[in-house]
Structure 1
């Protein structure tokens, strides 16, 4: 199983960067997990739009799903349209982004598979366990298993026992860390800090932690230091182009 970061900015893309988007590959199958602002241009630098096999969207905020629209256009508005793209999301999460085009224009470009939090999904070679995690809108974390390796991804989520269970003994936890040390009081029930991510990675027994969704302008070294205060495993910060091959560990 291999993870490639397409983008990792929280809320909006910093100059030359992109928001949350991850390409997960195994046995030739290409799964996109989230598609925030500016992720499709990053994707198309190395992979054709028609080569994507499925998409999973954690929640309906545009920094996690806005670029589903250009991906569908790139697959469908061509001489030989690609087959309908399987898209997995919580009910209603993609209503806004799918309504950007004229009604029916891209109806044949995708096959929407809505699921409930807690559902188990088979997506290509991946066994996907979903879990609702606390955020301002319904948000599904995902735990992907293939060939004995486990990757857990939180989407956006406040600290909770549910995050710990999602990441239990995972080889890699990709965790939202919008802030460094303290989340502003008004946002503590919907977002996490790098310090929170470190504590939760330790509680889960995760083998490796990748901090993502840092607010643009955040000091990455400060985020790493805050996470290390609670977790003694390997820690990194997600950046566009970063690749992690879980089968090598």
Structure 2
């Protein structure tokens, strides 16, 4: 299993960076997770648009899904259009990004699947389990397993008991950490800190923690220091080009 970071900025892409976006690969099957702002050009440096086998979207905020539109355009408008792409997301999460074009233009380029907590999905070699996690809009935490390895990803989330179940004994937890230690009161139910992420990783027995969705143009050191207060395992911050190989 190979996990590659395309971008890890929260909210908007800093200069030369991209928002949330990741590729997970096993047995030659490639899943594009959260195609946020500016992630498609980075993806296309690694593969063609028609080499993506499935897309997972955690929620409707554009820093997690905006580049689904150019990905579908690249597939639909090619000289030989690519097969319809399976796209999994919470109900209604794709409405805004799909409305950027006339429905008939992209109608044959994708097949939408609603993600529901408690329902296992088989996507290529992966088993996917979704978890409802608190955010400003419906957000699906993702737990993907294949070949005896597990990767968990929070999307954006506030505090929730479900986070430990999502991350339980995962080989890699990719966790939103917008702030180092304290989330402002107005966002505290909906976002997490690096300190929070470390607590989840420690409680869940995670082998490796990757912090993501840091506020743009902020240094990684405060986030790493905060997470290290609550988690003593392998710890890093998601940077474009970071690759984690499991198994």
TM-score clears 0.5: yes
Matched, 1:9 2:9: yes
Deviations 1:138-196 (A, max 9, x none): 00001000000000000000122111110011010000000011000000000000011
Structure 1 residue 115: Cα displacement: 2.4
Aligned to 1:183: 183
Taking structure 1 as the reference length, the TM-score comes to 0.98
1:131-170 to 2 correspondences below 5 Å = 131-170=131-170
Q: Which runs of 5+ in 1 are unaligned?
A: none
Segment drifting more, 103-112 vs 147-156: 103-112
Structure 1 residue 125: Cα displacement: 0.2
Taking structure 2 as the reference length, the TM-score comes to 0.99
Matched, 1:23 2:19: no
Matched, 1:200 2:196: no
Structure 1 residue 119: Cα displacement: 1.9
Whether the 8 Å contact between 1:49 and 1:75 is mirrored in structure 2 is: yes
Equivalent residue of 2:33, what SS?
A: strand
Q: Which runs of 5+ in 2 are unaligned?
A: none
Distance 1:201 1:54 in 2: 27
Matched, 1:211 2:211: yes
Q: Which runs of 4+ in 1 moved over 4 A?
A: none
Distance 1:103 1:120 in 2: 29
Equivalent residue of 1:235, what SS?
A: strand
Whether the 8 Å contact between 2:29 and 2:125 is mirrored in structure 1 is: yes
| Alignment RMSD (CA, Å) | 0.7
Aligned to 1:122: 122
Deviations 1:37-69 (A, max 9, x none): 000000001110000000010000000000000
Structure 1 residue 79: Cα displacement: 1.0
Whether the 8 Å contact between 2:72 and 2:110 is mirrored in structure 1 is: yes
